[in-house]
Amino acid sequence: MAAVTELIRKDDAGISFGNHTLDAKAKVEDFDVDGNLYKVKTFRELTKLERDGMFVYESEPGTSVNDFKVMPNGVSFTVCGDKDAMITVGLKEDSEYSVSVAGRDMGRMRTNLGGKLSLSVELEGKGEISVKVVE
């Protein structure tokens, strides 16, 4: 999967964002998708997505994300990067979710009081990895 050269775009399956190949920080603000305004900040060290001013996604180091879909019961997306990444997604606070990475069940995880769930994804040398987090 290539980096998202536009930094953010709407696709049939969701939105794609992030460019883990950039040496300098880049951002796009007020990107309208179905009445929601998205903001993305991305470069080699960090990728962050907000929707209507609220936290949605963050990775350290930076990643490129395709087909990011927010569902009533969770999120799904594909991700790639040059290095293994710590990914945090914003969900319902104090809730339990089933996590699947690259088709493997990683078990159930609980969000904190802020609704954030963090997971580690092995990306180095693997190309594109699918992630699904559902209640």
Could you read off the pLDDT tens digit of each residue along the chain, which spans 135 residues?
567 788 999 988 889 999 999 999 999 999 999 999 999 999 999 999 999 999 999 999 999 999 999 999 999 999 999 999 999 999 999 999 999 999 999 999 999 988 999 999 999 888 899 999 999
Global pTM? Answer: 0.92
In what side-by-side order are the strands of the sheet with 54-60? 26-33, 36-43, 46-51, 54-60, 85-90, 116-121
Domains and CATH numbers, the chain: 8-134 (2.60.220)
Tell me how far apart the alpha carbons of residues 18 and 3 are, in angstroms, rounded to a whole number: 7
Within the chain, what is the greatest distance between any pair of CA atoms?
37
